[in-house]
Structure 1
Amino acid sequence: MLELAARLRRLTPPALAAGLRTLGCDPVKIADFFDLAEWLIEPETIAAATRTLTRPELGVLRAVAEASGTGTALFAEVCKVLHVHGAGAEASTSAAEIRARLENTLLLFSHTDGENDDVYMHPRVRAYLQDGAQLPTLRELLAPPPPVLVSSDNVDRSILTRRAAHIAHASLTALAELLSALGTRPARGLSKGGLALPDARRLADTCGVDLDGLPALLARAANATLVAREGSFWLITPTGARWELMDLADKWADLATRWTARFPPGLPALLTRHQNKLSVARLRADAHWWLPLSGSQLDETLDTLLEEAESLGLTVGGEPLEFTQLVVAGDVTTATAALVEHFPEPVDRAYVQDDLTIIAPGPVSPALDVRLREVADAEGRGNAYSYRVTATSLSRGLSGGATVESIRQLFSEVSLTGIPQPLDYLIDEASRRFGVVRVIDATSEWSASLDPQATVDASVRTVIHAPHDLLQILVVDSSLTHLELTLGPPGHLLSRTDPEVVFTALSSARYPVVVANASGGVQRREHRRIARMPPPTATTQADPIDALLDRLATNRDSERTEEDWLARTLDAAAKTKSTLIVTVRLSDGSSEYLLAPASVSNGRLRARDARSDIERTLPLSAIIAVRPTTGQAQ
């Protein structure tokens, strides 16, 4: 452990941080490098570090274990071991690249100077690789992938492709409905996981899925970062808002690309050798061959990936299709073209009817769907899409920034039969009623200018402006009693409730309400709530790994730290009954002793001299250096 602690101490902070994050270190119980070294050589830590290693990486580790009988080996010797066990001529180059990746796992350490290039592996790691991990032999680890039998057949798979397209289209539609529903009204999440039952039922009904199937749909959206949980609510993300505006081909390609990105590194390249004959059984076999120590954790990952593949149409009945191989190989563009040609053709025109409904004879293009939802309520999905225009939906569009002219232009562009007279009347009526009731922040300058007496009471937070007859209705409306509305200056009501709460209550009661800004004009409102996604580098709390690095680096170069390090080194040697070469400062120079430490206390070392077989007591201040003996297990 002495050598391992010393190697850890020589690592740069970025290299050490990368390794600790790779291993998922919990730094709470680690106070110094000795604690860290002890944690690294625990069997659970070694098993976790090797579980995600690929076959080539394990091969290099196994070669280091064979070459480093004493813990340290020249890298050239490691390359010789690889060649002896069947590695090709390029083994030295690939082994050097793999070594750089393995250093992030803290399973081995490199040291290069002008003369030597060596690697170090702790004996417990070496013992685990040779005896405890049940690894294949080194020759088996270095062997090429097993060959596959590629048979040719003339089976017509067009039916499966059409079925896959149907599944993919239905999945894209359900995801789009989920994002639209969450954008309009976020769903409350439970502390133990899942959604509150009322929201779950609402979303399941909107998306056209069973209540039991909703968690899987939400998980797929979350895995693709289309939705995210913010506090207690699930919201659409900026990525999800952009995804909504894509056409169906781009939506599917985006999800397929994200799907392949979650494969273990190197596995997609291995799967390409199946030449359009990939199966689930072959995928699982190749995955376990590529990651020999992954165990059940890999099965769980594959189960999730295959479940998502089924929803994307990449598999039908659990078996991949021909274009699935293209996705795995990275040719998503060709795969998308092969699939979406079986999608229903989107339409950009619809029938706008006298009963204020809009019926589209097919799937509406995503961009048009978003525009229609701004001024109409979606009602049905299937072979035909339907929307309904109401006074509330038009008011929502006007408060969102639309104008009467832009609304009429939208319906004129969409309608196959022009704008019917009832809809024209409704647009005019919504325009006249828009902004009749205005909610004003009582602290704004415009609110204060209404009447100096209106804001004398500091508890008043909201002012409502409306015609006198409508104010009388608001005061007696039983659904608004919780707002505690009171009469204020002529044409105004006062409330101690927050303006946002007042606006929501009036809007829910279907009053033509808007929020007024500081100048008294209508404040544009974004009716969709988007999750605030922090940038990747932003952190809301201190990183525990950074805190650990700060502890390790505190007073690193101070005299007291060096003395503590020396004391811990000698104490660890005493516990493990190790023999050390200790360099001691004398009046006429220095001398080396071969000592077996017995104890360290009061600033002194008590040890037995292995050469003269006598006990020595030395002050720690006189010890210049300590190093393990050659060939000693650390």
Structure 2
Amino acid sequence: MPLPLVDWLRAQDDETLAALLRLRPDLAVPVPADISVLATRAGIRASVHRVCADLDTATLVVLEALAVAGADTAPAPRDEVGRLLGPDVPAAVLDGALAALRERALIWDTEGGNALVPAARDVLPSYPGGLGRSAPDLLDPATLVELLGGLAPDERRVLDALAAGPPIGRSRGSCDPAGPVGRLLARGLLLRVDADTVELPREVGLALRGDRPMGRIEYTPPVPATVERGADVVDGTAAGAALDVLRRVDLLLAAWSRLPPPVLRSGGLGVRELRRAAKEMDVDEPTAALLAELLVAADLVGDGDGAAPEWMPTTASDIWAAGGPEQRWSLLARTWLELPRLPGLVGRRDEADRPIPALSEAVRRPRAGKDRRRVLMGLAELPAGTAVRSPGELGGMLAWRAPRRGGRLRDEIVAWTLAEATVLGVVALDALSGPGRALLVEGVDPAAALRSVLPEPVDHVVLQADLTAIAPGPLLPELAHELKLMADVESAGGATVYRFSEASVRRALDAGRSADDLRDMLATRSATPMPHALSYLIDDAARRHGRLRGGVASSFLRSDDEVLLSEVLAHSGTRDLELRRLAPTVAISPLPLTEVLDGLRAAGFSPAAEDVGGGVLDLRERGRRIEARRRPGTRAAAAPAEPDGSRLQSIVARMRAGDAMAGMRRSVVASPAPNNGADAAPALLQDAVRSRCTVWVGFVDSHGVAGERVLKPTGVGGGMVEGRDVVDGAMYRLPLHRITSIAVLD
């Protein structure tokens, strides 16, 4: 009788069991009470299906060969499995596949060969190896060889087609006894399934395939074609992409703080809002969906809790925006790597033939993070600066390594991952960048890796006569802030182009800068003299700016120019502001100051706000915010972490202890005269202390829950027994009145 799986598992050492739990973490949730529970779980169909998703093509073929050999009912010798694989498969490949299956407890060693868990039949194809069901009593081998040798050409074509797999075929002429199918049925070379379906018996298929019963086997992974890009070129391109994605994220946060898009009634972001966000960032809609997903996952954007919830930045976004580019990028990249969602699904049709919206539950895929990491790990095997020629090349290699993973989206996931990684700078030119490699290594800071490839910040710009300034690289933070205040970004890339306009200069003046401040800053930070056109623009804007002063009264206007104030009051565009003159140089309004200033600007005037001291007051829109749901910098885990080595050893120890307890329990049940009840407990325990015997004790705790321990008593007195547990080695004290049964163990 073959050795059962539970006995084989009990015979393994602790390291082997820990390795099994590492490869199949679902077996340890919850922690098995003993090894018999572990063996039961290892044979469950769902668990077998899950572990087979990580097997490569060669190992799966060996698993199918074991099924063809009937290893689920009787052990299959290694030589029989090797014969089924054929002469093309080296012995090292077979031994490696058997070892991989054995490590995962899908097979185990017995005296007659390798035994297979019966649930593997449910996981494998309906016809393992493309072979039909066995019919050993239909034809003896000698007759089969004779029949195959006398086949007509049309009969041979039918059998060869079925022998190549699958072994099932439909034929309208199967009922015609004169046709090739009818003749094959009459001779027993085909079996009838129904009126129109026939099946090729396994024995016939094996005979037709000759010395390759499982057919041609791809036992080595395909090697993707590569292109050498150069590590410096890849890292430089990735650094530019990282800076560009940060700039686009800033644009999206600013846009959603000004005008938050509504949350769909079914959850998610509407198609028009996604299109508007793509236009705001100047990207395509898939990229806009990716960035929106990342911002929500990183808790930089959230949905409000009001009656009409909206997507808007959180308070954590302000903290994130204050960090350096490497820290900001690191949060986005880590969030993307662990994201349990597939942004590539956005825009596709769901089961109801409706487009899938961004930020909706339809995009959630719990295994997306693992699939994303698997694609990047495939790239990480190539030398630095080496790229795959196409996503299909990488997809072919990954498909060989895990053909059961990914389902219908397997190839698309590879393409989506490469495209998304390129947007973030994790991948550049189809090669893994230096920061991308650091992202995959536990304990390595990807922010430091990005910092090492970013160009050094520059402290100057180049002013041009067409009212533009060129930043030849990333600017120092304070210079970037000032330049963003007084100019608008016209184009970004390796060099950023800023354009000055009356509106942008007025924005700086509104923020409290004077014309002298702007000229001095540009004169000291420009590598070229200030163009006269820019100087005139600043002077002209400053001359008009602030001639009208507003305050809260609810609001007031004052101007040293009485004629100007009269012009304001007489202007048709200011009638709705409800201005009333109090003095030749002062007017008031019941409206808020911001509305008065906006109305004056719409009428063509250029007012400025002032504080109680007469200084310029910055009233720029700060945007709306909601509270962050997590602390800044934290991320939601996509999946529970796999147990570490110490945790696995603890689980194995608990299973061993459970086995020991079960064995002792069996010996108590088999005991001819166990001593039960609390009355006999003191005397029996005192005898056990004197003779240093081990006892099994059944008890109830203070909550009335039954329990049991195997103790080596060390002392009895004061209504308590004290002893060392032989399973975990700890000292315990039990009240005598809580003992329900007791027995001495030999």
Given the two structures, how large is their TM-score scaled by the length of structure 1? 0.50
Q: Is the 8 A contact 1:404 1:431 kept in 2?
A: yes
Higher RCO (Cα < 8 Å, 6 or more apart): 1
Instruction: Tell me whether 1:486 sits opposite 2:559 in the alignment.
Output: no
Aligned mates of 1:133, 1:424 — CA distance in 2: 70
> SS state of the match for residue 582, structure 2?
coil
Q: Report how far residue 158 of structure 1 moved.
A: 1.8
Q: Is the 8 A contact 1:174 1:208 kept in 2?
A: no
- Structure-to-structure mapping, 1:290-369, within 5 angstroms: 305-315=417-427, 324-330=436-442, 331=444, 336=449, 340=453, 347-355=458-466, 357-360=467-470, 362-365=472-475, 367=477, 368-369=479-480
Aligned mates of 2:543, 2:622 — CA distance in 1: 25
Q: What is the aligned counterpart of 2:491 among 376, 380, 384?
A: 380
* CA deviation profile, 1:99-122 (whole Å, cap 9, x unmatched): 99988xxx63678xxxxx89989x
Q: Is the 8 A contact 2:238 2:426 kept in 1?
A: no
Q: Report how far residue 257 of structure 1 moved.
A: 4.0
Aligned mates of 1:415, 1:423 — CA distance in 2: 12
Aligned mates of 2:502, 2:380 — CA distance in 1: 59
Partner in structure 1 of residue 258 of structure 2: 186
Amino acid paired to 2:395: A
Aligned mates of 1:266, 1:189 — CA distance in 2: 29
Partner in structure 2 of residue 559 of structure 1: none
Q: Report how far residue 308 of structure 1 moved.
A: 1.4
Amino acid paired to 2:578: L
Q: Report how far residue 318 of structure 1 moved.
A: 6.3
Q: What is the aligned counterpart of 2:283 among 209, 215, 226?
A: 209
Partner in structure 2 of residue 260 of structure 1: 337
Q: Report how far residue 372 of structure 1 moved.
A: 0.5
> SS state of the match for residue 489, structure 1?
strand
Partner in structure 2 of residue 536 of structure 1: 630
> SS state of the match for residue 386, structure 1?
strand
Q: Report how far residue 512 of structure 1 moved.
A: 3.2
Partner in structure 1 of residue 607 of structure 2: 513
Aligned mates of 2:506, 2:541 — CA distance in 1: 6
- Structure-to-structure mapping, 1:10-25, within 5 angstroms: none
Q: Is the 8 A contact 1:349 1:416 kept in 2?
A: yes
Q: Taking structure 1 as reference, are residues 100 and 533 closer, same or farther at Cα in structure 2, changes over 3 Å only?
A: farther
Q: Taking structure 1 as reference, are residues 329 and 352 closer, same or farther at Cα in structure 2, changes over 3 Å only?
A: same
Amino acid paired to 1:90: E
User: Number of matched residues?
Assistant: 430
* CA deviation profile, 1:316-350 (whole Å, cap 9, x unmatched): 67675788555423556599469947x7x875433
Q: Taking structure 1 as reference, are residues 358 and 414 closer, same or farther at Cα in structure 2, changes over 3 Å only?
A: farther
Partner in structure 2 of residue 176 of structure 1: 247
Q: Taking structure 1 as reference, are residues 484 and 287 closer, same or farther at Cα in structure 2, changes over 3 Å only?
A: farther
Instruction: Tell me whether 1:90 sits opposite 2:34 in the alignment.
Output: no
* CA deviation profile, 1:125-166 (whole Å, cap 9, x unmatched): 99664799796898463589x99869799x661269747854
- Structure-to-structure mapping, 1:1-16, within 5 angstroms: none
Structure 1 range deviating more: 266-275 or 156-165: 266-275
Q: Report how far residue 82 of structure 1 moved.
A: 4.2
Q: Taking structure 1 as reference, are residues 423 and 147 closer, same or farther at Cα in structure 2, changes over 3 Å only?
A: same
Q: Report how far residue 412 of structure 1 moved.
A: 1.7
Q: Report how far residue 383 of structure 1 moved.
A: 6.4
Partner in structure 2 of residue 569 of structure 1: none
Aligned mates of 2:587, 2:36 — CA distance in 1: 79
Q: Report how far residue 189 of structure 1 moved.
A: 1.7
Partner in structure 1 of residue 69 of structure 2: none
Partner in structure 1 of residue 395 of structure 2: 281
Aligned mates of 1:151, 1:211 — CA distance in 2: 34
Identity in percent: 20
Q: Taking structure 1 as reference, are residues 148 and 181 closer, same or farther at Cα in structure 2, changes over 3 Å only?
A: same
> SS state of the match for residue 250, structure 2?
helix
Q: Taking structure 1 as reference, are residues 108 and 267 closer, same or farther at Cα in structure 2, changes over 3 Å only?
A: same
Q: Taking structure 1 as reference, are residues 495 and 206 closer, same or farther at Cα in structure 2, changes over 3 Å only?
A: same
Amino acid paired to 1:311: V
- Structure-to-structure mapping, 1:155-166, within 5 angstroms: 157-158=228-229, 162=233, 165-166=236-237
Q: Any stretches of 5+ residues in structure 1 without a counterpart?
A: 1-64, 68-79, 112-116, 442-446, 448-460, 539-588, 590-623, 628-634
Q: Taking structure 1 as reference, are residues 159 and 511 closer, same or farther at Cα in structure 2, changes over 3 Å only?
A: farther
Aligned mates of 2:42, 2:248 — CA distance in 1: 51
Instruction: Tell me whether 1:141 sits opposite 2:104 in the alignment.
Output: yes
Instruction: Tell me whether 1:411 sits opposite 2:522 in the alignment.
Output: yes
Aligned mates of 2:234, 2:522 — CA distance in 1: 35
Q: Is the 8 A contact 2:26 2:47 kept in 1?
A: no
Aligned mates of 1:228, 1:173 — CA distance in 2: 23
Aligned mates of 1:257, 1:147 — CA distance in 2: 35
Instruction: Tell me whether 1:370 sits opposite 2:333 in the alignment.
Output: no
> SS state of the match for residue 370, structure 2?
coil
Aligned mates of 1:297, 1:88 — CA distance in 2: 40
Q: Taking structure 1 as reference, are residues 221 and 132 closer, same or farther at Cα in structure 2, changes over 3 Å only?
A: closer
Q: Taking structure 1 as reference, are residues 404 and 487 closer, same or farther at Cα in structure 2, changes over 3 Å only?
A: same
Aligned mates of 1:228, 1:625 — CA distance in 2: 46
Q: Report how far residue 188 of structure 1 moved.
A: 4.1
Q: What is the aligned counterpart of 2:324 among 246, 267, 271?
A: 246
* CA deviation profile, 1:458-509 (whole Å, cap 9, x unmatched): xxx544444543444444555555x442314224444454444444444555
Partner in structure 1 of residue 88 of structure 2: none
Q: Report how far residue 309 of structure 1 moved.
A: 1.2
Aligned mates of 2:22, 2:227 — CA distance in 1: 45
Q: Report how far residue 311 of structure 1 moved.
A: 1.8
Partner in structure 2 of residue 605 of structure 1: none
* CA deviation profile, 1:490-537 (whole Å, cap 9, x unmatched): 244444544444444445556433444466654334555364442527
Amino acid paired to 1:260: L
Aligned mates of 1:228, 1:253 — CA distance in 2: 20
Q: Taking structure 1 as reference, are residues 274 and 143 closer, same or farther at Cα in structure 2, changes over 3 Å only?
A: farther
Q: Is the 8 A contact 1:271 1:283 kept in 2?
A: no
Q: Report how far residue 400 of structure 1 moved.
A: 2.6
- Structure-to-structure mapping, 1:393-412, within 5 angstroms: 393-404=504-515, 406-412=517-523
Q: Report how far residue 416 of structure 1 moved.
A: 2.0
> SS state of the match for residue 387, structure 1?
strand
Partner in structure 1 of residue 30 of structure 2: 108
> SS state of the match for residue 468, structure 2?
strand
Q: Taking structure 1 as reference, are residues 421 and 190 closer, same or farther at Cα in structure 2, changes over 3 Å only?
A: same
Aligned mates of 2:568, 2:544 — CA distance in 1: 16
> SS state of the match for residue 551, structure 2?
strand
Q: Is the 8 A contact 1:168 1:311 kept in 2?
A: no
Amino acid paired to 2:337: T
Given the two structures, how large is their TM-score scaled by the length of structure 2? 0.44
